[in-house]
Amino acid sequence: MFDPTDLIANFGLLAVFGTAAIEGDAAVVTAGVLVQRGLLPLWPVIFAGAFGGWCSDQLIYHLARRYRDHPRTVRAVVAARKWRFFNMFVAYPMALALAIRFMPGVRTAGPVALATATAITPLRYGILTAIAGLIWATILVFVGKQAGHLIGRLFTNINVPEWVEIAIPVAIVVVLTGFALRRWRRRAAGRED
């Protein structure tokens, strides 16, 4: 019978890093469930999730900074300046850099706005997003641990193998990551038209 515990023990932290960079919240919450089950260590999971999110933020920021004069980037920033939300946050770039990890709707637009419409330096941006990523990952891992307790209670009176209890949150992350990648591909294909 398939037992994912060895696979999780060997590649779990790498998976947390990668899925946190691609999907984000659900991946780190699921990692918290695995921490609660004793399959992954707490602090390395927090750091892997924070580092994955931070790398994603850095990639978007530096690509936007590198291509800030590209016509598509200029058009996107000009269009975004019409939004009151954009102008409000661009006026406070340090606050936006700290808040990006906690605002799922602006995880791409926020770094682009900061890279193209503000004078925030890459070093300052990197430090602020590292702080925010660490707080974000810590909160979500502890949310996942609590969800793990709830899942454990749900399966208390049901004779289910442990791998099934583990497979539920892992399957959720796989599905959400698939949807995120699909949405990203559609957006990328739409921009090239």
Q: What pLDDT is stored for residue 193 in this prediction? A: 42
Q: Which pLDDT score is estimated for 121?
A: 92
What pTM was estimated for this model as a whole? Answer: 0.75
pLDDT grade, residue 162 (50/70/90)? low
**Each residue's pLDDT tens digit, 18-59:** 888 887 788 888 888 888 888 889 999 999 999 999 999 999
Of 50-64, 89-103, 125-139, which range is least confident?
Answer: 89-103
Which residue from 139, 133, 136, 117 is spatially nearest to 58, judged by alpha carbons?
133
Q: Cα 64 from chain centroid?
A: 18
CA 45/CA 35 separation, integer angstroms: 8
pLDDT recorded at residue 155: 66
Q: pLDDT for 163-174, tens place per residue?
A: 666 666 667 767
The percent of the chain in helix, strand and coil, each rounded to the nearest 5, is 80, 0, 20
Most confident of 20-24, 61-65, 98-102, 104-108: 61-65
**Does residue 133 surpass a pLDDT of 50?**
yes
Q: Could you give the maximum distance between any two Cα atoms of the chain, in Å?
A: 61
Q: How many residues does the chain have?
A: 193
